[in-house]
């Protein structure tokens, strides 16, 4: 499904990007591994945060072989502070597949890229267009916002029908010879001009063709899932053997990472209270109550004492590291 002015729209975006496109490290390379890493990092992390971490991360793991050879703990530790740790697991699984199935060379064909673990439609489009300059469509939240307005379409962008429609538009509009600049331009237009709320239409290279009647009302989204409040009761037990921690079992949200041990509220009620900590994860608003556990508290099978010398290399979520650091002796 295309727009009658598809060619002019695509060219206007490419021309606009040549003047206004931002310079990011991942736009200076055509190395598919470097591009994959940036795309995975950017999925749930802001550009300024990724800019602060990307260079050092790429130095630590400059090729798929480097990440494939790393331990799971090293990989998780390298991701600390970026959140959503399943991303680095998927990246490591992809790196191992590249080493084992492609001799360490990044696949160049769509089928090979799509078969890598953790790679979805968006990442396939990003790799094909940014690394290989092939005319592949790509849709993210920014692109969806631009499309909803350009076509003045009220279909919820996060519904199956909305997603299908937007991928069709993306395929119909992609620039045939400069998809690298075109896809970057489309995303950047959504980030800088066609933003949430009131867009800056006077500066928009697409205003000639845009049908949006009330851009601020678009895109339409499905109702949000409600925020759920949860409370955890965790214990702090530091002995000469180290700090008692629990390793997250396979299949759990933070699989392979460590956290402070958890106990039922009734167990903690008579223990000295050390601190409360509040943080958010996806749609959960978490309150953690931390208690000093008696020295003879028996560890559960999933728990172990981590020597203090190993603590900095032990993967854990940022809230855990923060509260632990606040309670370790200085
Ligand atoms: S004209 Fe305005 S609403 Fe339309 S695509 Fe451009 S910025 Fe978005």
CA dist., res. 210 & res. 205, Å (int): 10
Q: Which uninterrupted H or E stretch holds 236?
A: strand 228-236
**How many whole angstroms from its chain centre is CA 105?**
24
Listed by start position, the domains of the chain span: 6-217, 228-327
Å from CA of 132 to ligand 1 middle: 29
For ligand 1, pick from 207, 211, 216, 218 the residue to mutate: most ligand atoms within 8 Å of CB.
207
For residue 1, pLDDT over 60 is answered with no
The closest alpha carbon to 64, from 28, 17, 101, 12, belongs to 101
What is the phi-psi region of residue 286: left when phi exceeds 0, alpha when psi lies from -120 to 50, beta otherwise? Answer: beta
Tell me the backbone φ, ψ of residue 138, rounded to 5 degrees: -155, 135
Give, in order, the Cα–Cα distances in Å from 58 to each of 53, 63, 186. 9, 8, 26
Q: CATH homologous superfamily for 228-327?
A: Nucleoside Triphosphate Pyrophosphohydrolase (3.90.79.10)
Provide the token pair at 255.
């699989």
Which atom of ligand 1 approaches the CA of 207 most closely?
1
Pocket test for ligand 1, best of 152, 193, 214 (most atoms within 8 A of CB): 193
Work out the average pLDDT over 44-56.
Answer: 95
Q: What phi, psi does 285 have (nearest 5°)?
A: -105, 110
Q: Whose CA is nearest to atom 4 of ligand 1?
A: 210
Position 279 pLDDT exceeds 70: yes
Distance between Cα 152 and ligand 1 center (Å): 10
Which helix (H) or strand (E) element contains residue 303? strand 303-306
Q: Is 243 in the pocket of ligand 1 (CB under 6 A)?
A: no
Q: Which of 282, 314, 313, 326 is nearest to 83 (CA)?
A: 282
CA-203 nearest atom, ligand 1 = 7
Q: What is the pTM of this model?
A: 0.83
Q: From the alpha carbon of 204, which atom of ligand 1 is closest?
A: 6
**d(CA 184, ligand 1 centre) in Å:** 16
Measured distance CA(305)–CA(215) in Å, rounded: 56
Q: How close is the Cα of 181 to the center of ligand 1, in Å?
A: 19
Residue 146 near ligand 1, beta carbon < 6 Å: yes
| pLDDT tens figures, 192-211 | 999 998 999 999 999 999 99
Confidence of residue 282 (pLDDT cuts 50, 70, 90): confident
Q: In testing the pocket of ligand 1, which one of 8, 210, 220 has its CB within 8 Å of the most ligand atoms? A: 210
Query: What's the whole-number average pLDDT of the chain?
Result: 94
HSE of 184 in the Cβ direction (CA atoms, 13 Å)?
A: 25
Report the DSSP pairing between strands 238-239 and 242-247. Answer: antiparallel
SS3 290: strand
Quick one: tokens of 150?
């350009």
**28 alpha carbon to ligand 1 midpoint, in Å?**
28
Reported as a single tens digit per residue, the pLDDT across 203-246 is 999 999 999 999 999 999 999 888 999 999 999 999 999 999 99
Tell me the catalytic residues: 39
CATH assignment of 6-217?
1.10.340.30
**Kindly report the CA angle at 136 between 185 and 5, in degrees rounded to 5?**
60
Beta strands in the chain (DSSP E): 228-236, 238-239, 242-247, 258-259, 273-281, 284-292, 303-306
| Cis status of the peptide bond prior to 219, with omega within 30 of 0 | yes
């Amino acid at each position: 499904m295309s727009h009658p002015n598809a060619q002019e729209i695509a060219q206007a975006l490419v021309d606009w990007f040549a003047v206004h496109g931002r310079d990011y490290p991942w736009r200076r390379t055509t190395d598919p591994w470097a591009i994959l890493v940036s795309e995975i990092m950017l999925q749930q992390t802001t550009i300024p945060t990724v800019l602060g971490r990307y260079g050092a991360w790429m130095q630590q793991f400059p090729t798929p072989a480097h990440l494939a050879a790393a331990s799971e703990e090293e990989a998780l530790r390298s991701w600390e502070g970026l959140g959503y740790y399943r991303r680095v697991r998927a990246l490591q699984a992809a790196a191992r597949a590249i080493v084992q199935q492609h001799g360490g060379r990044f696949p160049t064909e769509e089928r090979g890229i799509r078969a890598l673990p953790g790679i979805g439609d968006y990442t396939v489009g990003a790799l094909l267009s940014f690394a290989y300059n092939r005319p592949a469509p790509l849709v993210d939240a920014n692109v969806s916002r631009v499309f909803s307005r350009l076509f003045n379409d009220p279909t919820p962008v996060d519904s199956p029908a909305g997603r299908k429609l937007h991928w069709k538009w993306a395929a119909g509009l992609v620039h045939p010879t400069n998809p690298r600049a075109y896809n970057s331009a489309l995303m950047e237009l959504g980030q800088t001009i066609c933003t949430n709320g009131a867009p800056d239409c006077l500066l928009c290279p697409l205003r000639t063709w845009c049908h949006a009647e009330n851009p601020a009302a678009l895109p339409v989204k499905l109702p949000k899932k409600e925020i759920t409040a949860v409370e955890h009761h965790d214990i702090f037990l530091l002995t000469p053997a180290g700090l008692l921690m629990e390793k997250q079992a396979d299949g759990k949200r933070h699989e392979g990472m460590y956290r402070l041990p958890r106990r039922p509220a009734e167990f903690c009620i008579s223990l000295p209270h050390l601190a409360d900590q509040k943080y958010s994860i996806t749609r959960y608003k978490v309150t953690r109550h931390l208690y000093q556990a008696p020295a003879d508290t028996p560890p559960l099978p999933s728990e172990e004492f981590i020597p203090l010398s190993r603590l900095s290399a032990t993967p854990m979520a940022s809230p855990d590291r923060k509260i632990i650091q606040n309670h370790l002796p200085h």
